[in-house]
């Protein structure tokens, strides 16, 4: 699991990736939607071989997904 913070307000839920060098943010209408955004971001940017693999090692602070 990646470090990902989910903040909710009355109307929107904001998710922020806290992995070093990433910082991707996403807006969602519900907490469940924000969690699905987190899962999709994790698979796209931080996994090596699918859902149950461990996190990709951080190589360069300048690169992002």
Question: In the prediction, which pLDDT does 43 show?
Answer: 83
What SS3 string covers 6-63?
EEECCCCEEEEECCCCCCCEEEECCHHHHHHHHHHHHHHHHECCCCCCCECCCCCCCC
pLDDT reading at 59 higher than 80: no
pLDDT given at position 61: 43
Position with higher pLDDT, 23 vs 63: 23
**Tokens for 3?**
């470090």
Nearest 10 degrees: Cα torsion 23, 59, 37, 13: -20
For 35, list phi and psi in degrees, rounded to 5: -65, -35
Question: For residue range 8-47, what is the model confidence (pLDDT) as tens digits?
Answer: 888 899 999 988 888 899 999 999 999 999 989 888 887 7
Confidence band for 62, pLDDT divided at 50, 70 and 90: very low
């Amino acid at each position: 699991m990646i470090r990902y913070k989910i903040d909710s307000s009355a109307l929107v839920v904001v998710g922020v990736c806290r992995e070093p060098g990433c910082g991707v943010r996403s807006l969602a209408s519900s907490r469940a939607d924000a969690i699905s955004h987190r899962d999709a971001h994790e698979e796209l940017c931080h996994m090596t071989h699918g859902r149950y693999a461990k996190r990709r090692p951080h190589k360069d602070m300048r690169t992002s997904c």
